[in-house]
Amino acid sequence: MIFGRRKSDDSFDAQRADMVEGQLRRHGIRSERVLDVMGRVPREAFVPDRHRAFAYADNALPVEHGQSISQPYMVALMTQALELEGPERVLEIGTGTGYQAAVLAALCAAVYSVERIPELAETARTRLADQGIANVTITVGDGTCGWPEHAPYDGIIVTAGAPKAPQPLLNQLAAGGRLVIPVGDRVSQMLKAFTKRADGIREQDLCACKFVPLLGAHGWSEREA
Ligand code: SAH
């Protein structure tokens, strides 16, 4: 994959390398595929201009429309939990800036991403196209209902906090597929992985986290947003 380059990108390259070693590897990310890809995807190209200098800070950043781009470590942990090997098709709920989608796109065959705010979906499309990333398809809608047209998915990643795992997403998982999702209240959640097995759904706790709320029919009420 080719990412656009300018001479002024050199300092971002150094910051990205530091992020991989000082944040991701140091805090226990072990997947060499995830570490390699996050060492190449230019996070600075996905954050709003005014926050660009902080693109590689060890925290989430505010983005347009009161949303946020997750901390690099959280992106790495969620991506690693999907255990992607290459041929998978993945559904993302909450496109936001498109950064998580760009990371996934380098690790699997196709990414389908649903965003409820049309302006964010449009900006993400532009940013992904600018990076030459062609295997991400974005739609505007309520991602708590999944995206049935392209189901089943080998992996589903929800980048907003939910009251529970939405049933439509569990239904749209392929056999052996995994749903990675923050579940809890509106303020704090537990990152969970649900794996669809022949004998039922296996649930694992990964770590405590804080995401913006997942709003929709199988999430939090939009009226209280
Ligand atoms: N993955 C993003 C971060 C997303 S922040 C990135 O890499 O930048 C969470 C996003 O989920 C927000 O953009 C929010 O608008 C979106 N969201 C919340 N509820 C949603 C729903 N029901 N369907 C689709 N998107 C939703």
Residue 52, helix vs strand vs coil = helix
Distance in angstroms (rounded) separating the CA atoms of residues 47 and 30? 25
Q: How far is the CA of 216 from the centre of ligand 1 (A)?
A: 11
Predicted local distance difference test score (pLDDT) of residue 3: 61
pLDDT tens digits for the chain (225 residues)? 456 555 457 899 999 999 999 999 999 999 999 999 999 999 999 999 999 999 999 999 999 999 999 999 999 999 999 999 999 999 999 999 999 999 999 999 999 999 999 999 999 999 999 999 999 999 999 999 999 999 999 999 999 999 999 999 999 999 999 999 999 999 999 999 999 999 999 999 999 999 999 999 999 998 765
Q: Determine the atom of ligand 1 nearest the C-alpha atom of 117.
A: 15
Q: What is the pTM of this model?
A: 0.95
Contact 29, 77 (CB under 8 A): yes
Query: Which residue blocks in the chain are alpha helix, DSSP H?
Result: 10-18, 32-38, 72-81, 99-105, 118-130, 167-171
Q: How far is the CA of 65 from the centre of ligand 1 (A)?
A: 11
> Which residue lies with its CA nearest to atom 4 of ligand 1?
96
Q: Active-site residue 11, yes or no?
A: no
Q: Determine the atom of ligand 1 nearest the C-alpha atom of 97.
A: 8
- Residue 56 is classified by DSSP as T
User: What confidence tens digit (pLDDT) does each residue in 153-195 have?
Assistant: 999 999 999 999 999 999 999 999 999 999 999 999 999 999 9
| Amino acid sitting at position 92 | E
